[in-house]
Chain A
Amino acid sequence: SYELTQPPSVSVSPGQTARITCSADALSKQYGYWYQQKPGQAPVLVIYKDIERPSGIPERFSGSSSGTTVTLTISGVQAEDEADYYCQSADSSNNYVFGTGTKVTVL
C-alpha cells in the first residue's frame, strides 16, 4: 500500500480560507475523498470523487485535484469547522488508505 501525506496542522482566522493538501503518486489515477472528524465524534464525509459535495454539506467546503495532490478548501471558515480532516483513497488492489490527518484550528 502507500501513504497519503497531509500537513499536521492548519491555522486560520474566522472568515478566512483554509486549504488542506493530500499527496501521493496514486492520486494521479485514483479519486480522493475527505472526512471531517470533530472531537469524540465519528468521521463525516465532506467531499467525494475529488470535487463532489454530499447533500447537507455547506457550500464553503470544496475539493480540487491536480496531478498527485488533492486539496480540500474551506472558504469563510467558521468556528464550527475546527476539526481533524482526513483524506482517503484506494489502491489498485482495492485496499483503502487514509491520510495522516490535519488538525484545523480556528484562531
Chain B
Amino acid sequence: EVQLVQSGAEVKKPGESLKIYCKGSAYNFANYWIAWVRQMPGKSLEWMGIVYPGDSDTRYSPSFQGQVTISADKSISTAYLQWARLEASDTAIYYCARFQGDEQKGEVFDYWGQGTLVTVSS
C-alpha cells in the first residue's frame, strides 16, 4: 500500500531554520510529483508547491515563492520542506501529498502523509 510518512512535530523559535521530510514507500517515488500543503489552525488547505523527485523539477505557489524551499532525494524516496527563518505565522500543520497528474485521474492529490505540526513561538 502506498504510504507517505512525515517527520514528527517541531517546536521552534522565530528566526530559526527547519527542514521537515516526507518518505514514500510502496510505489516508484521518482515518478510521481510530491506536493506540500499548509493548514493553519482552523483554516482550509493551501497548496505550497510541488517537486518531481525524478529530476528535482520544482514549482511554487506564488504565495509561497521565496518563503520556503522544496526539494527531494529520489535515492532515499524522501521529499523535504524547509525554512531559512521561521516566523510565528508559519505555525501550522504541513502535509505532503502524492500528486497524480494524468489523463486517468486528472490533477489530484491521491495519497497524503499524516501531517507535521510546526509550532513557532518565542
- A residues bordering B, Cβ < 8 Å? 1, 31, 33, 35, 42-45, 48-49, 52, 54, 86, 88-90, 94-101
Contacts and interface: CB of A to CB of B under 8 A. Distances in A.
A23 to B, nearest CB: 15
A33 B45 contact: no
B44 A94 contact: no
B66 interface: no
Grouping DSSP codes into helix (H, G, I), strand (E, B) and loop, the B interface class, with mixed when no group exceeds half, is: strand
Given A86-B45, A96-B35, A45 B108 contact: yes
A49 B115 contact: no
B47 to A, nearest CB: 4
Contact of A48 (B45, B46, B62, B105): B105
Nearest to A96: B47
Contacts of A1: 61-63
Indicate the size class of the contact surface on chain B. Answer: 20 to 34
A99 B97 CA distance: 17
B44 A49 contact: no
B66 to A, nearest CB: 15
